[in-house]
Structure 1
């Protein structure tokens, strides 16, 4: 007989969510309007996944570099990284999207054309820099500042004594990071990093303001064409929920696995 604590831990919310999802899938199957909307939005799922994966991967690379810079022994690196993090974190994502799309991207193109004149390369036009890649760049810049703080907190949480012991064993800086610091830091940063990943899936909907054909943009176009706002935005919300809840469950399972592995290693 399960204990009261085990009974409380049973994911009844998940049972209810799966039941509601089953009912909604049935409604999509039997209702022509829902089915039409669902097929239309399905074309935008690939764009949403692409924007999220590329943006999040790039943000993690930049965020890790920023985190290590904030912990550098060189003051100029620490100050430059802190300047970037604090400024970018203070700008709303949607404002950053618009700024990158219509200010920063044209400036990059102008800079490239100036450089191309010097070295004899072909110039490019602003419209050659697609709105999709402008959106990816904006999300990368925006999330890299938040992810940098996640990495910094995880790296600083590693016991300094273990690092000193690794130095005493003759490990160089890269070996200490790869064998001692990173494995422990990763287990600590995984939950907040997973939260940022799920948040980026949702924030990727903001790229619709640039006309990128993601789930939200296709939902807006569909609703404007058929005037069935209730059905259309029900499906939009359902698709995002399906993606985010599935990701959250997968990340939670990974966290549990790493926690058990850490306990066994200890």
Structure 2
């Protein structure tokens, strides 16, 4: 968002033309400070400070699939449902353990009544039990591992996401920050070149955040019986996104 506190803002908006025609909002993240008379707003000094944000994005190839599979059972009695969920879960855990998956853990377990509503009254007509397991495998093993879990008793695929090696993520974070700083400097340079100013110094640098959300497969939760292990699972890339803000002192050329 561009907020200009002296008459330089008028010239910058006319030259750059970066105002939204409908809302009047700016399309770049600039904040230009200048000294001016507190009563008239007339500039008393052409120097000031520009605040500008920049973003850097690095894509990193993934090599690990983070998979969530589950067991869902419905029945009339809570104890029977719970017992069947436990038996199937044990079989799936044994199978995944034999396959040597990494970081196997239970992330959610539940037992809920199934309610039927009639004329404002609710009646318990059964129970649903669920146990969701999460584990990691190399991406190329994802299809076969899911198939083995299904054969062992899993009937729900909750989620599949993909991650890159930690060392690659760490390097990408550094590279993304460098790109974000360059992006901010390029934007500032464009403004200064247009208005006839020069950089004096950078007085403040803020890292607004560096994120690396996992790359998700294009589906969430479906019946495991519909899954085919012959369907290739491709991990794609994981994005690392960095945002920074620079405060830059400027002066006339």
TM-score (norm 1): 0.24
Larger radius of gyration: 2
TM-score (norm 2): 0.25
Which protein has the bigger strand share? 2
Which protein has the bigger helix share? 1
